Amino acid sequence: MKLFVDTAIVEDIEELNDYGLIDGVTTNPTLIAKSGGDFKSVIKTICGIVDGPVSAEVAATEFSGMMAEGEHLAKIAENVVIKLPLTLDGLKACRALVSKGHKTNVTLCFTANQALLAAKAGASFISPFVGRLDDINIDGMDLIQDIRQIYDIAGFETQILAASIRTPNHVKGAALAGADAATIPAAVIKSMARHTLTDAGLAAFVQDWKSAGQSIL
């Protein structure tokens, strides 16, 4: 499963990219606002850091506005993926932008039927929000499994990008449910590498090596 980082904080993206842990980046208006930077400048900078897809979301809610903004975003860099809301106008814009050769990410997906429509519209990615479903006592991983089954039966090429990831358990669940990718906050990605037994084991190894009085170099 591919790992995308869900942030617009350039420093976090650079750090994780240097570790070789991320395959792409997703952003949204909220994350851009938190970054404190100019929207287009931030997207351009991120696209220069990572080679993989970088989702940049339109602000318009009607078809004509989404098309104008989507075309503008696509000009920022070749790896920009135009992020669109899962509405009828968003699906219409998705189909039109895909026909022009652009990649798209249809976001705010909460049902398998919505995901089916996004795939019919030719979306490159569908973003089911597992965490927000969990918030209302609906198992978000059930949705991932349903979409996976529908896409496999129909032969759709749309990639399932698990979103609204809150914990390392969400990441594991998405991978087991068959998601193609998950977009994850930087802090959660880092926490996936940590375990108390790993820390304790490393501390013991370091102490034993010091006691041995040897050197590798």
Alpha carbon separation from 111 to 83, 138, 146, 161, 182 (Å, rounded): 18, 11, 9, 14, 17
Which pLDDT value is given to residue 111?
98
Q: Which amino acid is located at 33 in the chain?
A: A
pLDDT above 90 covers what percent of the chain? 96
Percentage of residues in the chain with pLDDT exceeding 70?
A: 100
Question: Is 165 within 8 Å of 186 (Cβ atoms)?
Answer: no
Q: What average pLDDT score do residues 140-146 get?
A: 98
Position 44 pLDDT exceeds 90: yes
pLDDT tens-place string over residues 84-135: 999 999 999 999 999 999 999 999 999 999 999 999 999 999 999 999 999 9
Residue type, 30: T
Which neighbouring-strand residues pair with 162?
Answer: 182
Which of the residues 83, 100, 120, 190 is marked catalytic?
83
pTM, whole model, 2 decimals?
Answer: 0.95
Q: What pLDDT does 34 receive?
A: 87
- Give me the sign of the Cα torsion angle 156, 150, 139, 169: negative
| Mean pLDDT, residues 25-49 taken together | 93
pLDDT in tens, 163-176: 999 999 999 999 99
* For range 143-156, the mean pLDDT: 98
Count the neighbouring beta carbons within 10 Å of the beta carbon of residue 49. Answer: 15
Token pair belonging to 100: 């022009």
pLDDT at 181: 98
Looking up tokens 């022009």 gives: 100
The pLDDT of residue 136 is 98
Q: Give me the domains of the chain, ranges plus CATH numbers.
A: 2-212 (3.20.20.70)
pLDDT reading at 29 higher than 90:
no
Is residue 83 part of the annotated active site? The answer reads yes
